[in-house]
């Protein structure tokens, strides 16, 4: 059970990153200035930092 917890959390993290990336890209394609565009740019940066960490956890804790 202990080994499956990090793997499960990494998978959940990747799913959440996919949702955030999808909504951020959709907002960036609207190309309208404002708070939503700034937030989308920040979300893309956060996803680009969090995805490699999730992949590292999956590789490190793989059975």
Rounded to two decimals, the pTM is 0.85
Q: How confident is the model at residue 58 (pLDDT cuts 50, 70, 90)?
A: very high
Would 21 be classed as within a structural domain?
yes
With 80 as the cut, is the pLDDT of residue 2 above it?
A: no
Q: Contact, 43 vs 21, CB < 8 A?
A: yes
Would 18 be classed as within a structural domain?
yes
Would 63 be classed as within a structural domain?
no
Query: At 2, which helix (H) or strand (E)?
Result: none
Range of the domain at 46: 4-57
* pLDDT reported for residue 62: 82
With 70 as the cut, is the pLDDT of residue 1 above it?
A: no
Would 41 be classed as within a structural domain?
yes
How far apart (Å, rounded) are the C-alpha atoms in residues 26 and 18?
A: 12
Would 62 be classed as within a structural domain?
no
* pLDDT reported for residue 63: 75
Average pLDDT over residues 4-28: 95
- Counting Cα atoms < 13 Å in the Cβ hemisphere of 54 gives 17
What mean pLDDT value characterizes the chain?
A: 93
Domains of the chain: total? 1
């Amino acid at each position: 059970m202990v080994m499956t917890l990090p793997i499960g959390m990494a998978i959940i993290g990747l799913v959440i990153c996919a949702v955030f990336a999808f909504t951020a890209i959709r907002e960036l394609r609207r190309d309208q200035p404002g708070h939503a565009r700034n937030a989308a740019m920040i979300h893309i940066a956060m996803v680009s930092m969090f995805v490699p960490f999730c992949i590292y956890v999956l590789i490190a804790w793989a059975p």
